[in-house]
Structure 1
């Protein structure tokens, strides 16, 4: 009987050691969870700051007509009647525009290899059918 209790005690100690070193409550697993929690808190803080900035901008737009005009002028390049707008482009904006143009495919000389498959299969339903009143008259109607 004593051997049975010693076996149960030994089994319990082994199980506890397994949980500490390799189970769900292991030290490594808990450290990984703490690290992921730290990362998530950093993301949440960044999103919270962004939300606060958006809430402040919203409150400004709701309460102040000048803020609406400033937003329209800066972001949308809107002007009042009889005003002249001079837009000065920075080197960064010019570089972005150049990069955008260079990244576009060349339409005049497309890079299509011989024997490549088409990007889509045309169907009869893709064709345009003009309404009857806009169609050209048939040949026999034209003769008359």
Structure 2
């Protein structure tokens, strides 16, 4: 039996579409590594280059934009499929497709929020440790 969190994350990625969700997951993992590296550098009283802070911020922005792109592509595919249908679909089916389409933007914005929160905290920590 798979752990519940791992099963949920796998299903979440497969539902959102692996061609957009897995790159977003890589961006999240990259950002987590940069954040942890920055935190450990500050704990060890090392000088933290600003390029790491900027990388955290830019990766978060890239995740938000890439998630939005994934949503737009998903909506375009859904609208193309709806346009080609000969019969009327129930409203619930259409809304289910819309729900799936917005998963990538939610994930991208989550990564963006984590990145910006870490960026702000680390930026303030660097200013406080310098003074």
Normalised by the length of structure 2, the TM-score is: 0.31
Higher relative contact order (CA 8 A, sep 6+): 2
Larger radius of gyration: 1
Structure in which a larger fraction of residues adopt helix:
2
TM-score, normalised by the number of residues in structure 1: 0.28
